[in-house]
Structure 1
Amino acid sequence: MTPTDHFAAEFVESFPSPLTPGVLYVSTKYSMTVHLCACGCGGEVAVKLAPARYRVVFDGNISLSPSVAATALPCNSHYFITRGEVDWHRQLSARQTERVRAADQRAVAAQRADFEPGWPVRLLRRLRGRA
């Protein structure tokens, strides 16, 4: 496969098999995106969409932020997809990868803490469970 320098969006309910190079598949049903790695290695990159993690913007062109760091793939590619264009960045070291993962876990934990129900809601849930 050859490297991809541009992605087009395709909104789907479920993901096709096989995937097409240069297509960023977006499933709102599963809050996920999937695409073949831009380097051309053929690896599948799946991204969970969530406010604390990734966002998709579609304005006729597709953007995915923050960057894609394919650290689980042998290629270890690192790039942004902005308005459909691939913007390459240097690969992340093992230490940088660990920092990014730790920061991601902290962001998710902070977001979940913001949505924890207060004591009145928890009490009501317990009472309904007994009724």
Structure 2
Amino acid sequence: MILQHKFIELVPPVLEEGVLYISVEYCSAIHKCVCGCGNKVVTPLSPTEWKLTFDGKSVSLNPSIGNWNFECKSHYWIIKNKVKFARRWSDEEIEKGKKEEAELKAKYYKKRRRKK
């Protein structure tokens, strides 16, 4: 599956299937879940969330997108506009990943506070 990317200021009221909307101003990338469930996926762009790479032709998001709060629990990468599906995580892996992510964020912000 290939996603088209569109740089926008504001997210449109209706999302098109197969489009990754990118708002640099609001530091977000938004799309409909690629599994087809129709859920809106918001990936905040920040040092502790997702990183967007634009090479002038295509976009990539890192890390992978795990829709753990959706019924579908889809898990995939967006690399150079292509969706690469990842294996489904167990509930234990999801909880471990959430905990590790929270710890990394706390460590990042603690370090930033010390620099001020």
Same fold (TM over 0.5): yes
Q: What is the aligned partner in structure 2 of residue 54 from structure 1?
A: 50
**Off by >3 Å, runs of 4+ in structure 1:** none
What is the aligned counterpart of 2:109 among 101, 108, 112? 112
Unaligned segments of structure 1, at least 5 residues: 122-131
Larger Rg: 1
What is the aligned counterpart of 1:24 among 20, 24, 33? 20
Q: What is the aligned partner in structure 2 of residue 12 from structure 1?
A: 8
Number of corresponding residues: 115
Structure-2 separation of matches of 1:106 and 1:14: 31
> Contact 1:26–1:34 at 8 Å: present in 2 too?
yes
Measured after TM superposition, the shift of residue 29 of structure 1 is 1.8
Higher strand share: 2
Q: Secondary structure at the match of 1:74?
A: coil
Amino acid at match of 2:93: Q
What is the aligned counterpart of 2:33 among 24, 31, 37? 37
Q: Secondary structure at the match of 1:14?
A: coil
Unaligned segments of structure 2, at least 5 residues: none
Measured after TM superposition, the shift of residue 50 of structure 1 is 1.4
Q: What is the aligned partner in structure 2 of residue 128 from structure 1?
A: none
Measured after TM superposition, the shift of residue 102 of structure 1 is 0.8
Structure-1 separation of matches of 2:109 and 2:88: 30
Q: What is the aligned partner in structure 1 of residue 86 from structure 2?
A: 89
* CA RMSD, Structure 1 to Structure 2 (Å): 1.3
TM-score (ref. length: structure 2): 0.92
Q: Percent of counterpart pairs with the same letter? A: 30
